[in-house]
């Protein structure tokens, strides 16, 4: 698959790069969307809708709920009910609605860093106590510190789970999720699980949190077709909340925000993607996995002082750059000034990410090759 030229589309990764990095001469591989065209079925659905000249207020049709239900039973074996599905504007706003719905100011909320920044930011901004169950990095992979998690759960009201995990690419296995669930149930901790990367899993299996029956009435699953089908700009997501009391509390907070109207194009895209995008998704996953293997092989073959954590999911690659011997500030400067790559600084995911960088491989192999050649040249110059 070729990388699509996004010039002139007001893409954040391009038009926002100069503001973020202080220069516009970088190869931008940072924002978590892809350079790969959305599925043809989505393009055609949007074109059909655009051909109607009125773009007014839009309801969520029954077909929308059927599409979500069909996707979940097909991909995850979880049979959900239409009434459990609450359409939303985006996963990050939904995290904030959930925090306000299920906790009070000063109460504890568990997160696991290094972690996608809006998790911790949302906890702090809503005036809650951040309880950080730091992930353990060993032998090139991340593991959960369950003893620490159990301690934190004793003073927590909520747990914000990132599953699969961003930025590390971990897919939590059944045993790990069972342990987390049991600890939360024992301590009366509500779990809110962000599963927006769940469809892009490679060799392992993603377990939707709600598919564990024992936690179904004590949890919320947040998801969207945005990462899967490269339609993030359409701002269409949803929450799956089986418990009526939890659902009503969430809906009340969402309504307070005023963000309740559906996006007609987002609705069309979700339905088209979930109904007809599965073949496209499998093809894209093959491309992404090829990019992962290329990056890993290139760095190892050229003996660069970097280590690639092979992702089990997502189109994001977490790279251990501590072998360069640079501080967080110097590392960021090295990638901007010398490598000429716009990546996400690891330290932005928490202090545990210091010395790491996050690379978006959701593009063509040609772009990835160019990125690696730039990295090789800069490392050779550093010597």
Phi/psi of residue 337, each to 5°?
A: -85, -35
Place of tokens 């999911």: 313
**Three-state SS for 262?**
strand
Q: Using CA atoms, how far apart are residues 135 and 7, in angstroms rounded to an integer?
A: 38
Q: Which residues contact 22 (CB under 8 A, 6 or more apart)?
A: 336
Q: pLDDT per residue over 166-183, tens digit each? A: 999 999 999 999 999 999
What stretches of the chain adopt beta strand conformation (E)? Answer: 27-28, 85-88, 108-111, 129-132, 136-138, 141-143, 156-162, 190-194, 219-223, 237-240, 307-309, 316-320, 341-342, 344-345, 356-360
**Three-state SS for 132?**
strand
Cβ atoms of 239 and 221 closer than 8 Å: yes
Domain at 52-275: CATH architecture? 3-Layer(aba) Sandwich (3.40)
Q: Using CA atoms, how far apart are residues 110 and 99, in angstroms rounded to an integer?
A: 11
Cβ atoms of 171 and 164 closer than 8 Å: yes
Full-model pTM = 0.97
Residuewise pLDDT in 10s, the chain (383 residues) = 889 999 999 999 999 999 999 998 999 999 999 999 999 999 999 999 999 999 999 999 999 999 999 999 999 999 999 999 999 999 999 999 999 999 999 999 999 999 999 999 999 999 999 999 999 998 889 999 999 999 999 999 999 999 999 999 999 999 999 999 999 999 999 999 999 999 999 999 999 999 999 999 999 999 999 999 999 999 999 999 999 999 999 999 999 999 888 999 999 999 999 999 999 999 999 999 999 999 999 999 999 999 999 999 999 999 999 999 999 999 999 999 999 999 999 999 999 999 999 999 999 999 999 999 999 999 999 87
Q: Using CA atoms, how far apart are residues 161 and 209, in angstroms rounded to an integer?
A: 9
DSSP run (H or E) holding 373? helix 365-382
**Three-state SS for 199?**
coil
Q: Which residue from 113, 108, 159 is spatially nearest to 136, judged by alpha carbons?
A: 113
Angle of CA points 267, 285, 69, to nearest 5°: 35
Strands 307-309 and 316-320: antiparallel
Span between the terminal Cα atoms of the chain, in Å: 35
- The residue ranges of every structural domain in the chain are 12-31+279-382, 52-275
Q: Output the CATH code of domain 12-31+279-382.
A: 3.90.1150.10
Extract the tokens encoding 273.
Answer: 């993607």
């Amino acid at each position: 698959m070729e990388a699509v030229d996004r010039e002139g589309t007001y893409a954040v990764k391009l038009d926002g790069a100069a503001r973020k990095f202080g220069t516009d001469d970088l190869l931008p591989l940072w924002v978590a969307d892809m350079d790969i065209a959305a599925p043809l079925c989505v393009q055609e659905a949007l074109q059909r809708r655009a051909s109607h000249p009125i773009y007014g207020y839009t309801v969520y049709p029954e077909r929308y709920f059927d599409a979500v239900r069909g996707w979940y039973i097909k991909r995850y074996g979880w049979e959900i009910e239409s009434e459990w599905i609450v359409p939303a504007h985006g996963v990050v706003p939904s995290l904030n609605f959930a925090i306000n719905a299920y906790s009070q100011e000063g109460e504890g909320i568990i997160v696991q860093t290094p972690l996608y920044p809006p998790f911790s930011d949302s906890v702090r901004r809503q005036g809650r106590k951040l309880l950080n169950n730091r992930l353990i990095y060993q032998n090139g992979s991340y593991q959960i510190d369950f003893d620490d998690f159990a301690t934190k759960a004793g003073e927590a009201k909520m747990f914000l789970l990132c599953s699969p995990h961003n930025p590390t690419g971990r897919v939590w296995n059944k045993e790990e999720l069972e342990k987390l669930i049991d600890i939360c149930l024992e301590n009366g901790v509500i779990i809110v699980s962000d599963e927006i990367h769940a469809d892009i899993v490679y060799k392992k299996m993603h377990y939707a949190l709600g598919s564990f029956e024992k936690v179904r009435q004590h949890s919320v699953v947040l998801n969207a077709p945005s990462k899967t089908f490269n339609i993030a700009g359409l701002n269409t997501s949803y929450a799956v909340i089986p418990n009526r009391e939890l659902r009503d509390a969430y809906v009340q907070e969402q309504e307070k925000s005023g963000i309740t109207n559906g996006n007609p194009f987002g609705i069309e895209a979700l339905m088209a993607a979930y109904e007809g995008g599965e073949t496209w998704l499998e093809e894209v996953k093959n491309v992404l996995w090829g990019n992962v293997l290329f990056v890993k092989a290139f760095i190892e073959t050229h003996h660069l002082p970097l280590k690639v954590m092979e992702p089990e999911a997502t189109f994001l690659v977490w790279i251990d750059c501590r072998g360069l011997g640079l501080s967080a500030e110097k590392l960021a400067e090295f990638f901007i000034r010398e490598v000429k790559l716009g990546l996400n600084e690891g330290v932005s995911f928490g202090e545990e990410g210091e010395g790491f960088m996050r690379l978006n491989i959701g593009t063509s192999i040609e772009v990835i090759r160019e990125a690696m050649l730039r990295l090789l040249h800069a490392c050779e110059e550093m010597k």
